[in-house]
Structure 1
């Protein structure tokens, strides 16, 4: 099995895309034998719906199309120590490439260094790991995610005549490098808007339960001053919405989100959430699979840009509101109308033209 790391060439243009020069993969199915090599896919948690629903199956499907490569899959369940153990097990089992979405991007440096020592390349998937030699990084423009969230947040509050409203910021996990970028992008917009940030919170492990508990405490402190909640993803948005509903906050605050989770799309339709951010996971997962196979085969990789010395692809996120659900998540097949329009939200779907 070839383990030599191929040299990444950085393209002169900044267009989003990926070319695998000289790579002409044969169609095939994963048969469990790993005849052409083994790829370890290490995902961070099960609380975020996208990982098991989209990232894993899309990645495995694309690998199967590329040839008889075996995928060793593990989910860390929100535990950095467990992810370390899973990575060590994958290396011991002979993984030729690690595709690592780190639960804790600082702690994951030790995983990268162990892989480096073994001559195994690491693709930093979705979150940029804080150190070690990375073969590739693929994610979304994370500051743009925060910008999109905050722009819609400010717009909705201003349309309601609340341009100087008091708001809460429920940020992402302090162990997630993406969370700080979401926050930076959002803060620039919010700080320039005239909104008053009453309090903000970095949610450990992106836990909806912890977000709900914190928001409940802020409601007790600030009561009717809260007219908006910037929530960094749909999971913590769900926690915030639960706290707001339990306290019967009225009028209901503007709430943001991210990841286009099914429950979030439904909350947008029922008026409990203003927006989410759709990130097209299929091209992300497929490109990660293609790069992993190219690394095994010693193929030359051409990346559109370089981030902190690592060849990278950044995909573009899209804001989703009630006006463009059909043009985004439904048009892409991310969710179907049947998925979204359950009996509980059928009337809201009809009113919004989701049919």
Structure 2
């Protein structure tokens, strides 16, 4: 489902530069949209997975606002993380005659019949952030460099453990180890979870191989580490079980690879409740994250959560709008990756955006100074 790439990144690490290339091939819908129609005559169906995660609300708001500013009508539906609901919503959009579909799936492999139906009536499909798999009827994909997200998460963990220095090179003052860590992954039905995991494991593997890092639970396969639906409560319960089973008697746990902020907060709750420290300064293990959710940014500012990965959804929404507009005007959307994202049937032309590692030392520069959050929001831990 991906090509492996290995590279080290700095604290504001960005995705590797990729040569721009036009995406080739015919669109999924052979009939195609009416490219002569004015935006005011076209409706874009936007299928979002859930409103539970802060970032999906921001994504939806940004997409809707941007498309409407271009003159399009937007039919946006949130599915409450329920696959049948999302299937029904997309069916309704197709039946209503939308001009294009922009889909952030719950399960990328669950929409084949909907994609077939869209193709049959010439509705182009853009996968948003999560790859739509096992179907040829996917025209384009806009996302972040998800393998790089995993690399950054692993580097953040290694940095927090003192194994890498501020330049993300091997630290001359690195502890000898072994250091004890545990690994968490996302939901297996989300293709991105596999990319995050692979980027992280490729980066951590040399440290496992030389004995610097150990996983006392032995749970080092993605199936063992997975967190269904990315649920905070599930992550917290698993962390509680790991502590009870493998860290009894005060055995040290030094760090946790966590792939998303809600999981990070669940893990931190379990660690704090077990008396493993209140902050990193007083012994709380290093815990990573992703999505730069406001609650986790406050934890980073307060020295509780070590890091997160910022994926600027403003930029992702903007690129999705650009790509949608290109398709609806008969142009090929610009791709900067035409090799990596094999969905099991075809390699989907993609546009990958940059990511940034957020630490206590740089969260203000990355998030406050750019206007993503205000200082007051960070202090309160809520929008």
TM-score bracket for the superposition, by shorter chain length = 0.7 to 0.9
Match of 2:311 in 1: 279
Displacement, 1:15? Answer: 4.1
Count of residue correspondences: 317
1:251-270 CA distances to partner (integer Å, 9 max, x unpaired)?
Answer: 31110000000011111122
Give the counterpart of 2:213 among 183, 186, 195.
195
Displacement, 1:188? Answer: 1.2
Structure 1 segments of 4+ aligned residues over 6 angstroms from their partners: 16-19
8 Å Cα contact 1:38/1:70 also seen in 2 = yes
Displacement, 1:101? Answer: 0.6
Secondary structure at 1:171's aligned position in 2? coil
Secondary structure at 1:85's aligned position in 2? helix
Sort the Cα spacing of 1:39 and 1:18 in 2 relative to 1 into closer, same or farther, 3 A: farther
Between the aligned partners of 2:273 and 2:22, the Cα distance in structure 1 is 47
Gaps of 5+ in 1: 1-12, 20-32, 346-355
Greater alpha carbon shift after TM alignment, 113-122 vs 202-211: 113-122
Q: TM-score, normalised by structure 1?
A: 0.84
Sort the Cα spacing of 1:190 and 1:304 in 2 relative to 1 into closer, same or farther, 3 A: closer
8 Å Cα contact 1:47/1:235 also seen in 2 = no
Displacement, 1:34? Answer: 7.4
1:50-82 CA distances to partner (integer Å, 9 max, x unpaired)?
Answer: 011x21111112112212x11111111111111
8 Å Cα contact 2:22/2:332 also seen in 1 = no
Sort the Cα spacing of 1:162 and 1:99 in 2 relative to 1 into closer, same or farther, 3 A: farther
8 Å Cα contact 1:154/1:163 also seen in 2 = no
Q: Which has the higher strand share?
A: 1
Gaps of 5+ in 2: 1-16, 24-37, 164-173, 278-282
Displacement, 1:48? Answer: 1.8
Between the aligned partners of 1:161 and 1:232, the Cα distance in structure 2 is 24
Between the aligned partners of 2:370 and 2:117, the Cα distance in structure 1 is 38
Between the aligned partners of 1:240 and 1:302, the Cα distance in structure 2 is 39
Greater alpha carbon shift after TM alignment, 224-233 vs 320-329: 224-233
8 Å Cα contact 2:103/2:127 also seen in 1 = yes
Greater alpha carbon shift after TM alignment, 307-316 vs 160-169: 160-169
Pair 1:183 & 2:197 matched: yes
RMSD: 2.2
Spell out the pairing of 1:250-261 with structure 2 (5 A cutoff): 250=277, 251-261=283-293
Q: TM-score, normalised by structure 2?
A: 0.78
Sort the Cα spacing of 1:17 and 1:73 in 2 relative to 1 into closer, same or farther, 3 A: farther
Secondary structure at 2:254's aligned position in 1? strand
Pair 1:290 & 2:322 matched: yes
Match of 2:175 in 1: 161
